[in-house]
Each structure stands twice: as C-alpha cells, then as structure tokens.
Amino acid sequence: MKTSKISLCPFCSAFINKVFLSEDGWGSQVKCKCGASGPAHEMTTKEFNKGISREDMAEKAIELWNVGGMENPPIVNYKIYIDIN
C-alpha cells in the first residue's frame, strides 16, 4: 500500500484507491470504480533515463488526476495494479 493525496472522484465522490500501470510499465492512469479515469501519463525519455520507479509513475498519474481537483485532497492508501487491457 502506498499513500498519497488523491482528490475524490468528481463524478461519484468515491475515494480513489487504485492506480493502474500499463503492462509494459510505460503508462500510468488513475481510474475510479465508476468508470471515470484521469489523464494517462506516458513515461518521458528523461524519466526512462533516470530509471523512474513504478511508484513514481503512479504518482505522476495522481498529479494529473488532481489537476483542477480538490483544494485539500484526502490522504489515501492506494494500490498499483497492472492494466492488462
């Protein structure tokens, strides 16, 4: 379990507790159980070169999800899942 500040879902107000990584590890995205999803983060060359961790990839997706979100997002325990789609 990782911990981060994650805005509640703007559509269903649920706490977000899943962050998805693509199977190849090059992309990450926050998804809510209601079907809402945040912008996908794609690993940059710079991130690749410094050997970005899975956790940091997840954090990038969370940052994108939080843009325009709550002013003080709750601290949430989340898990990283591999998205096989």
* Cβ(69)–Cβ(7) below 8 Å: yes
Q: Any contact of residue 16 with Zn ion (CB under 5 A)? A: no
Is residue 9 a contact point for Zn ion (CB under 5 A)? Answer: yes
Least separation in angstroms between CB 75 and Zn ion = 18
Q: Which of 19, 21, 30, 32 binds Zn ion (CB under 5 A)?
A: 32
Residue closer to Zn ion by CB (options 52, 73) is 73
Which residues, in sequence order, are CB contacts of 65 under 8 Å at separation 6+?
6, 7, 16, 30, 38, 39
Residue 8 binds to Zn ion (criterion: CB under 5 A): no
